[in-house]
Structure 1
Amino acid sequence: MNRGSRPDYEAYAGDLFGEMILADTASAAPAPPGARPLSRFVPGMSIAAIAGAAAAWLSQNYGVPVILAGLLIGLAVNFAAADPRTHDGLDAVSRHGLRAGIVLLGFQVTAMQVAAMGLVPFAGLALVMSAALLAALLAARAIGQSPAIGLLGGGATAICGASAALALYGVIGRERVDQARFTLTLVILAAASAIALIAYPPLTRMLGFDDAQAGFLVGASIHDVAQAIGAGFAVSDAAGAQATVVKLTRVALLAPLVTLAALWIARVEPLPASVGRARVPVLPGFILAFLGLVALNSLLPLPPALAGHALTLSKTLLLLAVTATAMRTRTDLLLGLGWRAVMPVLAATIASLAVALAYAEWVIR
């Protein structure tokens, strides 16, 4: 950005990690460390909170998936991010909100739940997740996209949708996947999960699945946690209980997947030397905190109300993070991505459904 020119908003757009800071005016002197007021976060956080509240209202009153509503509203009002006063708040919500939301998911999982699922469903879950990852990587390669794109789409589909995508993006980095592609991945994930919520319960009835088969199918193949569990209870209470255990087992596997993803992507798609060392360690701090909460939840009898409040807070933080991320995304870049950007998530979704169907039909009884 040249002195005397207007701030280069396009260069700043889509910086999820908030590492680029533009001066509000050409003559503004850099503030000394520690002198920046906390009030700088208010404009961006306020705008994200208003957009998130609108998304929650749409979800509550019209049944729109809340993450999808947050993405669409964020994209619709992203003109607000042209004002540099919103940058600090939006970036703080995008980065720290998503990490806190993922950490709080640890209250929903215990080691006993994973163990109680049994070896047969766990083996099937591993097959479904592997199929989703492999399909996304193959689709990305077939259409000439990078392995990082396939890893993002496949890993998010294999684990828990937007939450996993946000965690994976932390180790993949914007140097490998730009913000527009990342946001489009979130949109596709939310849309696919919403379609699955509507279509999968009738599919299980049409195929004559019992509660165990139906619970495994929806828990193993629907991306979003709330929608996977909701689809299970749409079949029956027993199917809902099975879907909950299967889905939360997938959530528990978020930490090892992110760790393996960090190791793998560093080998197959190393960053240039000019980028320097990776911004996120092999096992990020928020993943360690997630594992710590899982351990705490497994060892101590925590009040059920605490898990409920933690889930509500987690969903709120993730909604705000997704909305803020969408607001910082240039829609012109989204439009320029084309149909190829859809293929990794689409391939992973189809593969996970096909493998889950086959396993439920022939193995789960």
Structure 2
Amino acid sequence: MNSTKGGGDVSDHVQNDPSDRSDWHRYYAGDLYGEMELAEAERDEPRSLRKVLTNIVPGLLLCATLAIAAAWMSDHYGPPTILIALLLGLALNFAAVDPRTHRGLDLVGREGLRIGIVLIGFQVTLGQIAGIGLVPFLALLCIAAFAFSGGMLGARLSGQSRFAGILAGGATAICGASAALALYGVIGRDRLPQAQFALTLVGVALASALAMASYPILAAQLGLSDRAAGFLIGASIHDVAQAIGGGYSYSNAAGAEATIVKLARVALLAPVVLLVSLWIGKPGEEGKASGKRLSIRGLMPPWFVTGFVIAVAVNSAVSLPEIASNGAESAAKVLLVLAVTATALRSRTDLIARLGWRAFIPVLGATLASFISALLFVVLVVD
């Protein structure tokens, strides 16, 4: 039924007055093909700022509310903000069932974390990396390799994919949740479900918190010097804040050593993410011909890795004002907490229940491998 009350064809009406779309529903009511044409016409319209905000704001508000709650609870009760944000997001992820929250959560979980990774680069300088010396830096590379191997072995023993091992090993070897977020940006949700990613983050946060509490005690029991204890703590604790806190809980000298060693590990973020992206390829490339020629474009690192390297170079070449440096550090922390919260909210609890304890085995394997290899180097070389 394509005739109007006035006796004209609807298509003629639309052609005569294409700008008048306000009453199209009257002509296409009950007409499936008309509704499809109307939907297509609406997609062709330029999206207004109001529509964009309507699509994004609900998810942003939900994510920000939980992140603020996590920060408050961390400040008053002590656990790491990222761990609390993860747990709140997983506990309240039923709120993300509403489709109106999806675009905002996906935006924060993807672009927010990438910008946060770039800002982390402003905490590192090339001078800090050179300050630890050649032999300790080579030892850090070996410790990182052992952590990766431990994560891969744990994933194999627990029947999980190699991507779970890469994620756990990389997060343990470099800088905890920040590295996990960067690596997940390369791995992609098609190859590793968000639920498994969220559980890996929980495992990394818990392991880092336990390490901060226990490694200084173990170092004291072993009678390690300040320098040796600082290297052990900085080389094996996952997250930056926990590594520095653990070092200073031992002594001021150990804290300074742990800070330098940990920041040198953070500097490995860019090359490790690049190597992983070259190794596993982009999402969706599995099954393609192995003899495919390697293109220059395929060698290009993700843009946030390039941004991280540029940030390190700028921070090394120019002495940034304290307000700029502190602002970049605070912004990075906020963005990473928001990204973690968004990821937890978008995780499927049914997959989490199905994975269970097995999801933590790669983190456990990487943590043990990192600690044992760092302790061996300290006992044999440093102390």
Q: TM (normalized to structure 2)?
A: 0.83
User: How far, CA to CA, are the matches of 1:233 and 1:188 in structure 2?
Assistant: 24
Give 2:341's aligned amino acid.
T
Q: State the secondary structure of the residue aligned to 1:31.
A: helix
Residue equivalent to 1:334: 352
1:260 maps to 2:275: yes
C-alpha contact 1:171 1:280 (8 A) present in aligned 2: no
**Segment of structure 1 superposing worse, 219-228 or 167-176:** 167-176
Residue equivalent to 2:222: 207
User: How far, CA to CA, are the matches of 2:151 and 2:177 in structure 1?
Assistant: 16
C-alpha contact 1:141 1:147 (8 A) present in aligned 2: yes
Match for 2:195 among 180, 194, 206? Answer: 180
User: How far, CA to CA, are the matches of 2:186 and 2:298 in structure 1?
Assistant: 6
Match for 2:340 among 307, 310, 322? Answer: 322
* Alignment CA distance shift 1:280-1:84 (3 Å): farther
1:230 maps to 2:242: no
Residue equivalent to 2:141: 126
1:57 maps to 2:72: yes
Match for 1:310 among 325, 328, 340? Answer: 328
Give 1:210's aligned amino acid.
S
Q: How do 1:23-102 residues align onto structure 2 when only pairs under 5 Å count?
A: 29=39, 31-32=43-44, 34-35=46-47, 36-102=51-117
Residue equivalent to 1:361: 379
Residue equivalent to 1:286: 304
Unmatched 5+ stretches in structure 1? 1-25
1:105 maps to 2:127: no
* Alignment CA distance shift 1:149-1:270 (3 Å): farther
C-alpha contact 2:278 2:299 (8 A) present in aligned 1: no
Residue equivalent to 1:21: none
User: How far, CA to CA, are the matches of 2:162 and 2:55 in structure 1?
Assistant: 37
Q: Which structure 1 residue ranges, 4+ long, deviate > 4 Å from structure 2?
A: 279-282
Residue equivalent to 1:17: none
Deviation at 1:145, TM superposition (A): 2.1
Deviation at 1:171, TM superposition (A): 1.1
Q: State the secondary structure of the residue aligned to 2:259.
A: helix
Match for 1:135 among 150, 167, 170? Answer: 150
| Alignment deviations for residues 232-273 of structure 1 (CA, whole Å, 9 cap, x no partner) | 111111111111111111111100000110111239x95245
Residue equivalent to 1:151: 166
**Segment of structure 1 superposing worse, 155-164 or 300-309:** 300-309
* Alignment CA distance shift 1:332-1:120 (3 Å): same
| Alignment deviations for residues 111-150 of structure 1 (CA, whole Å, 9 cap, x no partner) | 1110111012112211211110011112222333222111
Match for 1:296 among 314, 321, 328? Answer: 314
**Segment of structure 1 superposing worse, 305-314 or 280-289:** 280-289
User: How far, CA to CA, are the matches of 1:306 and 1:239 in structure 2?
Assistant: 27
Q: State the secondary structure of the residue aligned to 2:281.
A: helix
* Alignment CA distance shift 1:77-1:143 (3 Å): closer
* Alignment CA distance shift 1:315-1:118 (3 Å): same
User: How far, CA to CA, are the matches of 1:239 and 1:217 in structure 2?
Assistant: 9
Q: TM (normalized to structure 1)?
A: 0.87
C-alpha contact 2:278 2:298 (8 A) present in aligned 1: no
Query: What fraction of aligned residue pairs are identical, expressed as a percent?
Result: 55
| Alignment deviations for residues 74-124 of structure 1 (CA, whole Å, 9 cap, x no partner) | 111111111111111111111111011111001100011101110121122
| Alignment deviations for residues 146-187 of structure 1 (CA, whole Å, 9 cap, x no partner) | 221111111111011111111111111122111111111111
User: How far, CA to CA, are the matches of 1:33 and 1:293 in structure 2?
Assistant: 39
Query: If you compute each CA radius of gyration, which structure gives the higher value, 1 or 2?
Result: 2
C-alpha contact 1:175 1:271 (8 A) present in aligned 2: no
* Alignment CA distance shift 1:286-1:336 (3 Å): same
C-alpha contact 1:212 1:242 (8 A) present in aligned 2: yes
User: How far, CA to CA, are the matches of 1:37 and 1:173 in structure 2?
Assistant: 25
User: How far, CA to CA, are the matches of 2:332 and 2:45 in structure 1?
Assistant: 31
